[in-house]
């Protein structure tokens, strides 16, 4: 078997899903596809390019220029059927205002868990169904900012684009024969050595060592109100507890550690496991605070020192600061960070020449994100940065050769 098709099968039970993990492909024309069922397959693709339809035109991207594609979910069959039924009922000519409002509420309820299904069906609708569907999608966008429902994200070597990939199936020539995967099975794909990570629906948020009635609650609520992710609260207090959590979760949020207690000793004891977890694809998102600096250094995941804080200027284009007003105001407490070694943190927003207020460091297949506010009190900009960071991490946010979206 050639190196390009070599793989290692790793059976692991994460969230009740068995999957097979392949080693990164060396051949740029080898494609790895992660299905919605959790299977991961790779092989030579039976296509030369990917066609992407956008609001501004249709692009034809050579497969060799593609890094990764994240496909919008088409929705479970029962969700799609319910959306279609509600849109059909909206087309009835004799609807009164009460009926119309009831149908809109039903559509909003199903679309909250299947926005992509509604977006795709709405594109085929007209008249009153299309008008109500557009209104529901606008409501969802205001509640949970992020990728527009129904749109696929294509990351190329030159830029990132949102649109609809015109691909109903993909044929792969694998080491054991040919496969055909239908569009409904796609989760994401990567070409060559680009990173391919499955999106996650659960995020761990540390409650131990925080002030549970203030900063913890504000941090949790900032994420909960702007994402659809399930937040699981960590209340362990030993290295064994932390190591166990690392086996289940890929994204960890660290609120301000105002009551650090034995935190330094615990993360130091778990440091080897934490370093390995990050390198294998884990993401730590830390809020600001002196004890948070200690968390990063005692765990050996990021060499750094504390710096000054204040109003921050955005200095790089990245999904974490997408849609955030520049400059970012100072918060109740703003903690700058100074990167002192490898992995080195890339500044996204800074206060002064050296103090990183928002930054991201890549380590292996994983990352460390710094959001330097304590969240005792916060403004919209602070909440948006944190929510962006969590969504970016949970959605598998970056390819192996660089961040997935260079723009904001």
Q: Is pLDDT of 178 > 80?
A: yes
Q: What is the pLDDT of residues 58-97, one digit of tens each?
A: 999 999 888 888 887 666 677 788 889 999 999 998 888 8
Residue 152: band (very low, low, confident or very high) from pLDDT cuts 50, 70, 90:
confident
Give the helix ranges, DSSP H, for 183-335: 215-224, 239-246, 263-269, 271-279, 290-298
167 in the same domain as 87? no
349 part of a folded domain: yes
Number of domains observed in the structure of the chain: 3
Q: Please state, in angstroms and as integers, the Cα–Cα distance from residue 97 to each residue in 93, 102, 108, 133, 200, following that order.
A: 12, 9, 16, 16, 39
Residue 1: band (very low, low, confident or very high) from pLDDT cuts 50, 70, 90:
very low
Q: What is the pLDDT of residues 256-268, one digit of tens each?
A: 999 999 999 999 9
Q: Tokens 């684009």 map to which residue? A: 161
The residue with greater pLDDT, 161 or 291, is 291
| Domain limits for position 9 | 3-72+151-191
Residues 6+ apart with CB under 8 A from 222: 375, 378, 382, 383, 386, 387
- Return the closest-CA partner of residue 219 out of 201, 238, 205: 205
344-356: average pLDDT: 92
377 in the same domain as 240? yes
Q: Is pLDDT of 24 > 60?
A: no
Burial of 267 (0-12, 13-18, 19+ CB in 10 A): buried
121 in the same domain as 13? no
66 touches 155 (CB < 8 A): yes
Packing angle of the helix pair 97-113, 77-90 (nearest 10 deg): 160
Q: Is pLDDT of 200 > 90?
A: no
**pTM for the whole thing?**
0.59
Q: What is the pLDDT of residues 240-255, one digit of tens each?
A: 999 999 988 989 999 9
The phi and psi torsions of 309 (rounded to 5 degrees) equal -135, 165
Q: 386: which strand partners?
A: none
Q: Is pLDDT of 17 > 70?
A: no
Domain boundary (143, 164, 181) is at: 143
Average pLDDT, the chain: 82
CA dihedral 94, 99, 105, 109 (to 10 degrees): -70
- Extract the tokens encoding 237: 């207090």
Q: Is pLDDT of 212 > 90?
A: yes
Domain boundary (127, 143, 159) is at: 143
196 part of a folded domain: no
181 in the same domain as 113? no
């Amino acid at each position: 078997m050639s190196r390009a098709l070599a793989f290692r099968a790793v059976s692991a039970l994460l969230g009740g899903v068995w999957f097979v993990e392949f080693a990164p492909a060396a051949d740029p024309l080898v494609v790895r596809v992660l299905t919605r069922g959790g299977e991961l397959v790779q092989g030579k693709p039976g296509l030369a390019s990917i066609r992407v339809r956008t609001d501004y035109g249709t692009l034809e991207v050579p497969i060799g220029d593609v890094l990764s594609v994240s496909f919008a979910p088409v929705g479970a069959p029962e969700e799609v059927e319910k959306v279609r039924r509600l849109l059909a009922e909206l087309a009835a000519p004799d609807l009164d205002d009460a009926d119309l409002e009831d149908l809109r509420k039903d559509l909003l309820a199903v679309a909250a868990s299947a926005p992509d299904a509604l977006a795709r069906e709405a594109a085929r609708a007209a008249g009153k169904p299309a008008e109500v569907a557009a209104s529901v999608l606008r409501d969802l966008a205001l509640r949970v900012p992020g990728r527009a429902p129904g749109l696929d994200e294509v990351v190329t070597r030159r830029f990132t684009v949102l649109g609809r990939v015109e691909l109903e199936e993909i044929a792969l020539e694998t080491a054991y024969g040919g496969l055909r995967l239908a569009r409904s099975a796609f989760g994401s794909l990567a070409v060559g050595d680009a990173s391919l990570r499955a999106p996650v629906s659960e995020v761990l948020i540390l409650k131990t060592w925080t002030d549970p009635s203030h900063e913890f609650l504000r941090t949790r609520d900032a994420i909960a109100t702007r994402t659809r992710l399930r937040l699981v609260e960590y209340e362990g207090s030993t290295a064994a507890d932390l190591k166990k959590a690392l086996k289940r979760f890929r994204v960890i949020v660290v609120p301000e550690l105002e009551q650090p207690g034995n935190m330094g000793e615990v993360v130091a004891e778990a440091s080897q496991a934490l370093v390995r977890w990050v390198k294998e694809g884990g993401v730590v998102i830390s809020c600001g605070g002196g004890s948070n600096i200690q968390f990063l250094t005692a765990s050996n995941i990021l060499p750094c020192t504390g710096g000054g804080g204040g109003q921050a200027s955005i200095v790089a284009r990245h999904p974490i600061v997408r849609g955030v007003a520049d400059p970012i105001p100072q918060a109740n407490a703003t903690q700058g960070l100074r990167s002192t070694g490898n992995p080195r943190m890339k500044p996204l927003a800074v206060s002064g020449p050296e103090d990183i207020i928002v930054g991201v460091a890549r380590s292996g297949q994983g990352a460390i994100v710094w959001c330097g506010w304590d969240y005792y009190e916060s403004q919209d900009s602070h909440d948006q940065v944190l929510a962006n960071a969590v969504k970016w991490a949970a959605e598998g946010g970056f390819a192996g050769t660089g961040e997935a979206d260079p723009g904001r």
